[in-house]
């Protein structure tokens, strides 16, 4: 993860506006840069939570 690296090692983060919006559609708290800066979430785990209002149906998949 880029956030685990020192800023001197990786000073930039590529954020594709349209692509990230599509990939984060179902998230309750999408990652959005503010003034060009992406701030890490302080939520537990990896900070991702699904927005139940955007989910019509859940199906358990098994392979």
* Residue 10 to residue 6: CA distance in whole angstroms: 7
What does pTM read for this prediction? Answer: 0.66
pLDDT of residue 1: 65
Among residues 43, 45, 15, the alpha carbon closest in space to that of 29 is found at 43
Q: Which residues pair with 34 in a beta bridge?
A: 37
> By the 8 A CB rule, do 43 and 49 touch?
yes
* Residue 8 to residue 5: CA distance in whole angstroms: 8
Token pair for 46: 């990896």
**pLDDT tens digit sequence for 23-63:** 999 999 998 888 888 888 888 888 889 999 999 998 999 99
């Amino acid at each position: 993860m880029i956030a685990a690296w020192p800023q001197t090692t990786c000073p930039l983060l590529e954020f594709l506006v349209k692509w990230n919006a599509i990939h984060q559609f179902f998230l309750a708290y999408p990652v959005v840069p503010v003034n060009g800066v992406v701030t890490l979430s302080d939520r537990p785990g990896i900070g991702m939570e699904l927005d139940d209002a955007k989910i019509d149906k859940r199906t358990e998949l098994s392979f």
